Amino acid sequence: MVKKIKIPILFLFLFPLIALLNSCDLLLGAEPDTSPQGILKSLWEDFNNIYAYLDIRMSHNLSYNDWYDVYHNNQNGYARKVWASMSDDSLFSVCESMLKQLNDPHVVLHKPGDIGFSYTPGSREYASASNIEELLLNRGKTQYYNFLYGLFKDEPNIGYINIFDFVENGEGSENNNWGKAIDNIINELADTKAIVLDIRGNRGGHIYVLEYIAARFASEKKEYLKSSMKKGPNRNDYDSPITHINIPSHTNYTKPVILLTNMNTVSAAERFTLALRTQKHVTHTGTPTRGALSIRVERSMVNGWIYSISPEKITDMNGKIYEGIGISPNDEYIVEYGTNDAQIKKAVELAVNFSE
């Protein structure tokens, strides 16, 4: 992460957390317990040892007291929901249901060959690109991958940029550098008085892409988050924190920026939000983000199924954790989606006011 490795923030396949495995017998050659009971227990133990946010996630659970209770509860613990002769499909459903108790969009279970990962939307509110295009001169521009941008018809001095995600796609995509198109976009919008930067529905992606783009909206060098990887089975077993810094680039936009988020702003997009909130010329509006900031690690179960897990603790520079609650605008800038996208209208209003 420190070296901005060209791998997705959402996807680190089989990350080497072997030291955290309970199944030390695997390293010594003993056969793992692949009975339904053994498979479920192994999955529960992995999360008990590796998952970074058990206490936070379980504090919002209405059915169980904590992660221990999820498995061991005398009445409805998941250990009581498996039996020796159950089918694979039934066992899969039990395992999946147990993981859903965490309510973490980064936690997904799948079988080899199946589609591995998809977000469950945080809300039903989607910013419609076609509706936004109606607000832009000539319906805006989309010639650069993952961007919609332009000027507002009614406020041609106000620019608009929508970043769909921070994901590089395809073979060797790390060399495509689509994120660098932001330099061209900023140059095109250089004469505007303010910009609305819309990351509603942004599902995250690569750290090196988000940091490249965030640097274009930085007026001063600012530390913006600390990350620590889980390194042992105890609740406070973490590596020393790594500090992430937003550093201004040579192509900057430092006039007023209105950052627009919602509950479908997830993962790397939330880190991007933290990076921009350190800048004095940036105002955050909309609704809180999803609250899932860890990297996403994929690991194999003893029977070959694959699950993803969140092993990283993320805080802002004051030590605040946003997992499960999201990053919220200040109260005076919280705006629900409402009718005809009230959020974009508020963002334009703020852009006009702050640019006067």
With a cut of 50, list the residues of the chain below it in pLDDT: 1-27, 170-175
d(CA 106, CA 146): 22
Domains of the chain, earliest start first:
12-110 (no CATH), 129-293+311-355 (3.90.226.10)
- Tokens 């940091």 correspond to what residue? 211
**Residue-level pLDDT at 27:** 46
What is the CB neighbour count within 10 angstroms for residue 4?
Answer: 12
**Residue-level pLDDT at 338:** 87
SS3 labels along the chain: CCCCCCCECCCEECCCCHHHCCCHHHHHCCCCCCCHHHHHHHHHHHHHHHCCCHHHHHCCCCCCCCHHHHHHCCCCCHHHHCCCCCCHHHHHHHHHHHHHCCCCCCCCEECCCCCCCCCCCCCCCCCCHHHHHHHEHHHCECCCCCEEEEEECCCCCEEEEEECCECCCCCCHHHCCHHHHHHHHHHHCCCCCEEEEECCCCCCEEHHHHHHHHHCCCCCCEEEEEEEEECCCCCCCECCCEEEEECCCCCCCCCCEEEEECCCCCCHHHHHHHHHHCCCCEEEEECCCCCCCCCCEEEECCCCCEEEECCEEEECCCCCCCCCCCCCCCHHHECCCCCCCHHHHHHHHHHHHHHC
d(CA 264, CA 125): 8
* Token pair listed for 253: 């936009």
0.85 exceeded by the pTM?
yes
Q: Using one digit for the tens of pLDDT, what is the confidence trace for 31-83?
A: 889 999 999 999 999 999 999 999 999 999 999 999 999 999 999 999 999 99
Instruction: Count Cβ neighbours within 10 Å for each residue of 247-285 and write b for 16 or more, e otherwise.
Output: ebbeeebebbbbbbbbbbbbbbbbbbbbbbbbbebbbbb
**Residue-level pLDDT at 176:** 56
Write the CB contacts of 115 (distance below 8 Å, at least 6 apart in sequence).
none
The residues facing 314 across adjacent strands are 227
